[in-house]
Structure 1
């Protein structure tokens, strides 16, 4: 019995019916493919929408433009055109078969054979197609049954699939954590372990993208433990060890207890050694943005002295404070409640107000202002009236010291 893709809101996006008409979906020339079909069958939200088509790329471009749909040739050399719809982009890719591969990129040829296109994909439940009008699923390699069983299986020979694209090693463990039952296929696992050194041929950006996607799934710990045991990370990120997996496990438990959404960067901070210098080096190696690298450093920077959650947030930002508290197994989680919907305020007084109170202009002004702020933070940010009292006391103190 043919499985039918359930109806869902994403199938009624604005402009989608016009796009499907332009691609001759009624004549069977276009089908949904990949993640949208997989997640649609599972009843999960669908964000990224991909369409496979038997139409050639230039024909797709011409048809979309004739229909008044903005078309961008984002990957036309690989057969991909992006249609820009009101609710987001849709990637349209001509059916392909691999002519040759080197583990990083493939030389492709176009085809009109849907099974040939499916055969070049990685896992069985990522090679499912759905008729956009009837919802009928096309399944060439038992992907529906694997999805129902939460069984992650390479299409055909695992070694061959990995040789075609080395990134599939990392994708295997991400999909195992996201969709699998964490019961690893021994043949697939052995193939990933045997090919781990080939990860060195990949760009660090691609490695970082897969790692961060893995870390943000609900519980990546079982998959990461398998990766560490098999030496998967050793060629590219030897800093990831079983100790880091244990720290990550503790963090995930604290996130759940506190009701805090997972963060890939916070989890990465737990996974790597608790050393801000190493964190910055790892961030640089992975080509993370300056903002992301700074977040890792702030999360792992040793605290100069014990301080309350709001004082910490005032000094390093709320995001950094939340990271620090969650990463520190000794920090009480109830402290996070005081940071909910709280924005660190600015000191409601400046150097001019101290001079107006009689403090002589000069270096004492900056020092006195620092002392006012220190007291203000220690008293948990009292109102302007109390700040005025603190300022009066501080100015008097500095004036006495000058006498």
Structure 2
């Protein structure tokens, strides 16, 4: 008996019925596909919705426009358009078959054969289709059984699927971290290890995107260990090794105890040697944004073990302070609580206040203000009246030094 997709809120979102009507889903021309079906069967929240259709892209566009539905040709050359219903994007892709592939991109042709479309997908648990109305699941490759067994398998021969798109090596370990359990499928793991050097043919942006998605998973540790043991990343990220795995293993429970959301950039920092320059080099190689590179490098600066958490947060920012403190295994986790929901205050006086207290205008003003701020931070950011007292003392000190 076919599996049935459970009813859920996402299946009744505003505008979805009109979209399905425009695609003639009741006549069998459109079905839910991929992650929405997989996550729906598991009872997980569904945010991204993909629809597969027998209709060709130009026909999809004209039908949606006629129905008054906004449509964006996001990937129309590859058969994909995006419908926007009530501010919510839905990707619609025409059934496809591969004509040729080179490990990075594929030449495709359209088809009306659902099995042919399923056979070009990566894993059995992603090749699931569901009737939008009855919820009946179409499963050509025992993906439902794999989902129930927490097993991640390539469709057909793993080495062939990897040869079609080398990124599937990294996707395998990400899906294994999220949906797998127990030992990996031996054929899949062997194929990933054998083809690991092919990752060098991919853009570093694609590698970074997939790696950070893996590190965002709640429990990535076992997958990362398999990758290190199998030499998966050696060609593109040789800096990641067993020592990095140990640091990641220590970090994850500290995040959980502190009640701090997992950060893939923080976890990437844990995997790298504790050297900001190495982090900068890796970030540049992965084409991370300047902001992301700075965060990873800052996380790996030597921890300021003698300072209070808020003093560190004031100096380098709350995000950076939390990263450093979580990565510092000698820092008690409970001290991080002082930074949660805390916004660093501003020093309540400026140079004008010091001048009004008698300090002569000039370079001493900036130096004295720095002294005031240092004491203010050390004392835990006292109120304005105390700051005025501190300022008066510092002004007197500078005046005596000039006499």
What is the TM-score of this pair, normalised by structure 1? 0.99
Matched residue, 1:109: 109
Q: Which residue of 1 aligns with 2:357?
A: 357
Deviations 1:215-235 (A, max 9, x none): 011111111111111110011
Alignment match, 1:224? 224
CA distance in 1, matches of 2:296, 2:225: 22
CA distance in 2, matches of 1:74, 1:59: 15
User: 5+ unaligned residues in a row in structure 1: which ranges?
Assistant: none
Tell me, yes or no, if structure 1 residue 11 matches structure 2 residue 30: no
Alpha-carbon distance in 2 for matches of 1:128, 1:46: 15
Number of corresponding residues = 403
Q: Is the 8 A contact 1:49 1:91 kept in 2?
A: yes
Paired with 1:272 and 1:9, the residues of 2 have a C-alpha distance of 41
Q: How many Å apart are 1:70 and its aligned residue?
A: 0.7
* Alignment-derived partner of residue 233 in structure 2: 233
**Residues 303 and 328 of structure 2 are in contact (CA less than 8 Å); yes or no, is this contact kept in structure 1?**
no
Tell me, in whole angstroms, the C-alpha distance in 2 between the residues paired with 1:337 and 1:189: 41
Worse-superposed segment, 57-66 or 334-343 = 334-343
2:133 and 2:275 map into 1 onto residues whose CA distance is 54
Q: What SS class does the counterpart of residue 249 from structure 1 fall into? A: helix
Residue 273 of structure 1 corresponds to 273
1:302 matched to 2:307? The reply is no
Q: Which residue pairs with 1:377 in the alignment?
A: 377
CA–CA distance in 1 between the matches of 2:304 and 2:77?
Answer: 54
Q: Is the 8 A contact 1:176 1:182 kept in 2?
A: no
Residue 52 (structure 1) aligns with: 52
Alignment of 1:2-401 (within 5 A): 2-303=2-303, 306-401=306-401
Normalised to the residue count of structure 2, the TM-score between the two structures is: 0.99
> Cα RMSD between the aligned structures?
0.8
Q: CA deviation at 1:182?
A: 3.8
The 2-side partners of 1:122 and 1:249 are apart by 29
Change (3 A) 1:96 1:161: same
Q: Distance in 2 between matches of 1:59 and 1:312?
A: 58
Give distance in 2, aligned partners of 1:85 and 1:183. 41
Unmatched 5+ stretches in structure 2: none
